[in-house]
Structure 1
Amino acid sequence: MSSFDELQAVIRRGAEARQADQRACEGFLNLLYHALRAANGPGLPLNNVSMDPVPDPQETLRPAPLGSWHAAWFRLGLCEVLVRVRRADGAFRGEYGRGEGFRVDDLSEDAVLRLARQVLRDVITMYGGGHDEGTHLN
């Protein structure tokens, strides 16, 4: 078997696992989107939040190997933040903004909502230089 044939066989054998990993990461990004919309609390949805899934800008292989990053741009009113996430050690690990990172071990609504609120606080700090002017994006 040639090296090329071996490469094709390895890619075919791992396709199902890569697709499951991609679906899980995209599902997590979708949960984060819904949590960002609900971050102001019950009855106060953020209507100007949107999500645009994109290929990870740092990925250099296609299809992306198992354990790769998956990304989406989240539009938060007047700004956008790139969120990258991957599965590692049974958890979702990610990064956003200027080097902020996170790890979510349980996908409960509260855990993802806490992350959404942290993302908002961190983005406010990035733009405000540490001055919290409030968290209302509407």
Structure 2
Amino acid sequence: MSEFDELQAAIRRHAHERQAEERACEAFINALYHALRAASGPGLPLNNVTLDFTTDPANRLRPVPTGGFHAAWLRLGLCEVLVRVRRVGGAFQGEYGEGGTFRLEQTGEDELFTLARQMLCDVADTYAGVGWERTRPLN
């Protein structure tokens, strides 16, 4: 078997695992989108939040290998924030904006609302010139 054939076989062997991981990451990003829309509290949806899945600009291979990042642009009114997420040891680990990071072991409603509010505050701080000095753990 040639090196090319070995590469094709490896890609095929791990296709199911990659696809399951991609679906999980996209479902997480979609849940985060809904949390952002509800971040103002019950009965006060943010209607100017949109979601646009995209190829992660840092990925250098397609299809994305297992453990790679999946990305989306979240439009938050007047700005857009790139969110990147991947699965690491059963948790969702990700990055957003100009230096925001998160790791969620649990992805319940409370954890997603906390992340959504943190993202809104961090992005507002970026535009206000406050920067990313403060780190808020989510776990």
Asked if Structure 1 and Structure 2 have the same fold, meaning a TM-score greater than 0.5 normalized by the shorter chain, the answer is yes
Q: Determine helix, strand or coil for the equivalent of 1:29.
A: helix
- The residue type paired with residue 37 of structure 2 is R
Equivalent residue for 2:36?
36
Equivalent residue for 1:135?
none
Equivalent residue for 2:67?
67
Cα distance, 1:130 vs. partner?
A: 2.7
Cα distance, 1:19 vs. partner?
A: 0.0
- The residue type paired with residue 61 of structure 1 is L
Q: d(CA) in 1 for partners of 2:60 and 2:22? A: 16
Q: Determine helix, strand or coil for the equivalent of 1:64.
A: coil
- The residue type paired with residue 51 of structure 2 is M
Q: TM-score, normalised by structure 1?
A: 0.93
Q: d(CA) in 1 for partners of 2:130 and 2:121? A: 10
In the alignment of these two chains, the number of paired residues is: 131
Equivalent residue for 1:98?
98
**Over aligned residues, Cα RMSD in angstroms?**
1.0
Q: Which runs of 5+ in 1 are unaligned?
A: 132-138
Cα distance, 1:83 vs. partner?
A: 0.3
Answer yes or no: is 1:118 the counterpart of 2:111: no
Equivalent residue for 1:87?
87
Greater than 6 Å deviation, 4+ residue runs: none
Q: d(CA) in 1 for partners of 2:46 and 2:128? A: 20
Q: TM-score, normalised by structure 2?
A: 0.92
